[in-house]
Amino acid sequence: MSQTDALLQAVREIEPILRQYAAEAEQERKLSVPVAKAFKDAGLYRLWRPKALGGFERDPVSGLRVIEAVSRIDSAAGWNLQIAVAHDLFAPWFGDKAAAEIFHADAIPVGAFNPPRLAIPVEGGYRISGRTPFVSGTHHASVYLGFAKVHDVGDEPPDIRLIAVPASEAIIIGLCLHPTRLHAQHSQSLDQKLRIFPEIPGRLRRRRQCLFV
């Protein structure tokens, strides 16, 4: 059996859990804990994670087949899954050490990118703050990805950095309303606490420079 077939079989095995908690997720407007655990235990959050970081590193079409199989059972659960696995594609933007800490085997990365957070240069790095709406899968996430705009009084255009914020460093402040009626897609707004992020030197282009604590 191929790895993709094994993952599709895993989806079939957890189908009773997805169906059992679909109504609860719709009512609570968030993915249920048993479903998130089922995803994690079945390895579904590692669809596109690099093998070097404990993932399956499936090709795009194979990964989409697995997401589609979940979505046929519960569309909101499928939405939450694809949000998480899509963020693994940012792993190569970080240095090896940071990537290993952010995208470890048990990681559930989610995020939203606009509006960017504010990064104020201070001694030793940046002070990051801001509020980000429409972040799906917040309650089960281990880390939030997003952009931060470096505030500078100079005449140069603002520098945009990719940041990774540990879930413990953000506050979930409320449910965002959506016209899609996928209530269980669970999009929340996040407040980023003030925190000093070290500047990470590297040879990446400016738009791909990354910050991580």
Q: What is the CATH number of the domain that holds 200?
A: 2.40.110.10
Q: Are 135 and 188 in contact (CB under 8 A)?
A: yes
Reported as a pLDDT band with limits 50, 70 and 90, residue 19 is very high
Q: What's at 160, amino acid-wise?
A: I
User: Model confidence over 98-107: pLDDT tens digits?
Assistant: 899 999 989 9
Structure tokens at 195: 């925190």
- Angle, helices 75-86/33-42, rounded to nearest 10 degrees: 50
Residues 85, 114, single domain; the answer is: no
Report yes or no on 97 lying in a domain: no
Tell me: do 118 and 82 sit in the same domain.
Answer: no
For the chain, what is the domain count?
2
* The two structure tokens encoding residue 6: 């094994």
Q: Which of 58, 91, 124 is the last residue of a domain?
A: 91
Q: Are 191 and 173 in contact (CB under 8 A)?
A: yes
pLDDT, the chain, mean:
80
Residue 211 has pLDDT above 60, yes or no: no
- Kindly tell me if the per-residue pLDDT of 209 is higher than 50: no
Q: Sign (positive/negative) of CA torsion 72, 31, 66, 110?
A: positive
Q: Which helix (DSSP H) or strand (DSSP E) does residue 111 occupy?
A: strand 109-111
Q: Based on the domain organization, do 76 and 157 belong to the same domain? A: no
Note whether 131 and 208 are same-domain residues.
yes
Statement to judge: residues 73 and 114 lie in one domain? no
| Backbone torsion region of residue 15, taken as left when φ is above 0, otherwise alpha when ψ lies between -120 and 50, otherwise beta | alpha
In a domain, 104, yes or no: no
Q: Which two tokens stand for residue 108?
A: 């559930």
Place of tokens 């993915």: 31
Q: Judge whether 63 lies within some domain.
A: yes
| pLDDT at residue 38, as a whole number | 97
CATH classification of the domain holding 83: 1.10.540.10
Q: Examine the domain organization and report whether 20 and 83 are in the same domain.
A: yes
Same domain, 69 and 144: no
Structural domain span for residue 129: 109-212
Pairwise pLDDT comparison (146 vs 28), residue with the higher score: 146
Question: Does the structure show a pLDDT above 50 at 212?
Answer: no
Residue 56 phi, psi dihedral angles, 5° rounding: -95, -20
pLDDT per residue as tens digits for the range 120-171: 877 777 777 887 777 887 888 899 898 888 876 566 777 888 888 888 877 7
pTM metric for this prediction? 0.77
If DSSP codes are grouped into helix, strand and coil, which group holds residue 29?
Answer: coil
Q: How far is CA 17 from the centre of its chain?
A: 22
Nearest to 137 by CA among 94, 102, 182: 182
Average pLDDT value for residue range 176-184? 44
Phi, psi of 17 (to 5 degrees): -70, -45
**Residues 209, 105: Cα–Cα separation, whole Å:** 24
Q: Which helix (H) or strand (E) holds 55?
A: none
